[in-house]
Homo-oligomer: A and B are copies of this chain.
Amino acid sequence: MSSKGLIKRSEDFSKWYNDLVSKADLAEHSDVRGCMIIKPYGYAIWEKIKDQLDLMFKETGHQNAYFPLFIPKSYLSKEADHVEGFAKECAVVTHYRLKNAEDGSGVVVDPDAKLEEELIVRPTSETIIWNTYKKWIQSYRDLPILVNQWANVVRWEMRTRLFLRTSEFLWQEGHTAHATKEEAIEETEKMLGVYADFAQQHMAIPVIKGLKTENERFAGAEETYCIEALMQDGKALQAGTSHFLGQNFAKAFDVTFADKNGKQNHVWATSWGVSTRLMGALIMTHSDDQGLVLPPKLAPIQVVIVPIYKNPEQLDQITSYAKQLISELVGIGISVKFDDDDNKKPGWKFAEYEMKGVPLRIAIGPRDIENKTVELARRDDLSKTTLSQKDLSQKISKLLEQIQEDLFRKSSDFLKDNITFASTVEEMNDILNSKSGFVEAFWNGDSETEQKIKDITKATIRCIPLEEKSTGKCIISGDLNSKKVLFARAY
Q: Which of B44, B76, B77 contacts A63 (CB 8 A)?
A: B44
Q: Is A420's beta carbon under 8 Å from chain B? A: no
Question: Are B67 and A37 in contact, CB atoms less than 8 angstroms apart?
Answer: yes
A119 contacts which chain B residues (CB < 8 A)? 32, 91
Q: Is A121's beta carbon under 8 Å from chain B? A: yes
Q: Is A96's beta carbon under 8 Å from chain B? A: yes
A183 contacts which chain B residues (CB < 8 A)? none
Chain A 129-146 per-residue mask, 1 if CB under 8 angstroms from chain B, else 0:
001100100000100000
Q: Which of B66, B70, B120, B141 contacts A343 (CB 8 A)?
A: B141
Question: Are A65 and B43 in contact, CB atoms less than 8 angstroms apart?
Answer: yes
A107 contacts which chain B residues (CB < 8 A)? 73, 76-77, 83, 87
A364–chain B nearest beta-carbon distance, Å = 25
Q: Is A438's beta carbon under 8 Å from chain B? A: no
Question: Are A121 and B118 in contact, CB atoms less than 8 angstroms apart?
Answer: no
Complex CA distance for A71 and B71, rounded to whole angstroms: 20
Q: Given A43-B63, A47-B64, is A31 in contact with B131 using a C-beta cutoff of 8 Å? A: yes
Complex CA distance for A66 and B40, rounded to whole angstroms: 8
Complex CA distance for A98 and B34, rounded to whole angstroms: 18
A100 contacts which chain B residues (CB < 8 A)? 87
A154 contacts which chain B residues (CB < 8 A)? 69
Question: Are A92 and B109 in contact, CB atoms less than 8 angstroms apart?
Answer: yes
Complex CA distance for A46 and B66, rounded to whole angstroms: 10
A351 contacts which chain B residues (CB < 8 A)? none
Q: Given A119-B32, A121-B121, is A43 in contact with B68 using a C-beta cutoff of 8 Å? A: no
Complex CA distance for A69 and B74, rounded to whole angstroms: 23
* Number of chain copies forming the complex: 2
A118 contacts which chain B residues (CB < 8 A)? 109
Question: Are A68 and B109 in contact, CB atoms less than 8 angstroms apart?
Answer: no
Question: Are A95 and B98 in contact, CB atoms less than 8 angstroms apart?
Answer: no
Complex CA distance for A72 and B98, rounded to whole angstroms: 12
Question: Are A94 and B68 in contact, CB atoms less than 8 angstroms apart?
Answer: no
Chain A 106-129 per-residue mask, 1 if CB under 8 angstroms from chain B, else 0:
110100000000111100000010
Complex CA distance for A106 and B252, rounded to whole angstroms: 14
A447–chain B nearest beta-carbon distance, Å = 22
Question: Are A43 and B69 in contact, CB atoms less than 8 angstroms apart?
Answer: no
Q: Is A97's beta carbon under 8 Å from chain B? A: yes
Question: Are A68 and B98 in contact, CB atoms less than 8 angstroms apart?
Answer: no
Complex CA distance for A40 and B43, rounded to whole angstroms: 25
Question: Which residue of chain B has the shortest Cβ distance to A147 in the bound complex?
Answer: B40
Question: Are A65 and B39 in contact, CB atoms less than 8 angstroms apart?
Answer: yes
A23–chain B nearest beta-carbon distance, Å = 14
Q: Given A43-B63, A68-B37, A132-B37, is A156 in contact with B106 using a C-beta cutoff of 8 Å? A: no
Question: Which residue of chain B has the shortest Cβ distance to A35 in the bound complex?
Answer: B68
Question: Are B68 and A30 in contact, CB atoms less than 8 angstroms apart?
Answer: yes
Question: Are A98 and B76 in contact, CB atoms less than 8 angstroms apart?
Answer: yes
Report A270-312 residues with CB < 8 Å from chain B CB: none
Complex CA distance for A71 and B107, rounded to whole angstroms: 13
Q: Is A88's beta carbon under 8 Å from chain B? A: yes
Q: Is A90's beta carbon under 8 Å from chain B? A: yes
A143–chain B nearest beta-carbon distance, Å = 14
27 contacts between A and B (CB under 8 A): A28-B135, A30-B68, A30-B128, A30-B132, A37-B65, A37-B68, A40-B63, A43-B65, A43-B66, A44-B64, A46-B66, A47-B64, A68-B168, A69-B121, A69-B152, A70-B168, A73-B106, A73-B107, A87-B97, A87-B98, A88-B97, A88-B99, A91-B96, A94-B94, A98-B120, A141-B343, A151-B152
